[in-house]
Amino acid sequence: MRRPLVVANWKMNIGRADEALDLVRRLRPSLSRLDKTDIVVCPPFTVLVPLAEVLASSPIALGAQNVHAAAAGAHTGEVSPSMLTGLCEYAIVGHSERRAAGETDSDVNAKVLACVEHSLRPIVCVGENLAEQEAGDTDAIVAGQVARALEGLSPEQVEVCVVAYEPIWAIGSGRAATPAAANRTMGLAVRGSLANQFGESSAQAVRVLYGGSVTSSGISGFMAMPEIDGALVGGASLTSEFADLVRLADDSTM
Ligand code: 13P
């Protein structure tokens, strides 16, 4: 059984300590009562330290939104996985907004390997753009991204990874994929690719999330799908709506 996981990606929002602390203090009481769902907040780097202090004895874990692949050195403005250990349990890698800014599959792969080496669980983002979807290329694009992102991991290492299927056209557009279409791609392209590369048993162990315009009104439909283990949430994670969304996800779990 895969444990459900809901991840908040704050992106470049809520980066001031007072705002960030205010939001997590509002979320924490209701989220702390849930026990079937893993909850992760990925804020900007600037507020990881104060949030880690406030969340220390809560079930809410922290994640980074990006990492650099190198352990240390002359990389101005970057943060390495080793700097995040003890602070974060997860790190988002290969978000489409970073891929659009030039991150390649091989960059994503290097970051995934660096995360795993430093005991951070990578949340590896994959997804097709609108033209690729309209051309019927979704499965090939997504399966290829999964395979290249995870190259070089052992089957045991891949089991700590999370894959987030985020169709680019659904991100921030208010136009989510249907639960059935997302479930299909996540089963065939994501888990199919994992099974080819790492074997069926590891493929069944990896948690696969859906992301792209997930709201509290849509979450239950996604959670009802067998291949969907949770969600990566942008806009709806920036307010107390996130508490309702996670509670509904938790309620959908047997
Ligand atoms: P939205 O939920 O705002 O569409 O963002 C999705 C996303 O990109 C999460 O990583």
The predicted-structure confidence for 155-197, as pLDDT tens digits, reads as follows 999 999 999 999 999 999 999 999 999 999 999 999 999 999 9
Task: List helix spans (H) across the chain.
Answer: 17-31, 48-55, 81-84, 96-99, 105-117, 130-134, 138-149, 155-158, 179-185, 192-198, 200-205, 219-223, 241-251
Q: Ligand 1 center to residue 170 CA distance, Å?
A: 8
Q: How many CB atoms lie within 10 A of CB 156?
A: 11
For the CA of 236, the closest atom of ligand 1 is 2
- Domain with residue 24: its CATH number is 3.20.20.70
Q: How confident is the model at residue 1 (pLDDT cuts 50, 70, 90)?
A: confident
Check 97, 128, 159, 166 and give the catalytic one: 166
Question: Residue 175 C-alpha to ligand 1 middle, in angstroms?
Answer: 11
Question: pLDDT tens digit string along 77-93?
Answer: 999 999 999 999 999 99
pTM score, whole prediction? 0.98
* pLDDT at residue 211, as a whole number: 98
Number of folded domains in the chain?
1
Closest atom of ligand 1 to 11 CA is 10
How far is residue 181 from each of residues 10, 155, 174, 185, measured CA to CA in Å? 25, 27, 16, 6
List the domain range (segments joined by +) for residue 124. Answer: 5-251
Give the per-residue pLDDT at 253: 82
**Nearest alpha carbon, ligand 1 atom 7:** 234
CA of 171 to the centre of ligand 1 (A): 5
How far apart are the C-alpha atoms of 67 and 64, rounded to whole Å?
7
Which residue among 166, 175, 245 is best mutated to probe the pocket of ligand 1, counting the most ligand atoms within 8 A of its Cβ? 166
Q: Which of 11, 215, 246 to mutate to test the pocket of ligand 1 (most atoms within 8 A of CB)?
A: 11
Mean pLDDT of the chain: 97
- CA–CA distance, 174 with 108 (Å, rounded to integer): 27
Predicted confidence (pLDDT) per residue in 199-246, tens digit: 999 999 999 999 999 999 999 999 999 999 999 999 999 999 999 999
Q: Is 212 in the pocket of ligand 1 (CB under 6 A)?
A: yes
Quick check: 254 pLDDT over 70? no
Give buried/exposed letters for 62-85 (b at 16+ CB in 10 A, else e). Answer: bbbbbbbbeeeeeeeeebbbbbbe
Pocket test for ligand 1, best of 232, 237, 238, 242 (most atoms within 8 A of CB): 232
Identify the active-site residue in 68, 95, 97, 159. Answer: 95
The question of whether 166 is a catalytic residue gets the answer yes
Tokens of 31: 């989220």
Ligand 1 center to 236 CA (angstroms): 8
Q: What is the DSSP string of 11-51?
A: TTS--SHHHHHHHHHHHHHHHTT--SSEEEEE--GGGHHHH
CB-ligand 1 contact for 124 (6 Å cutoff): no
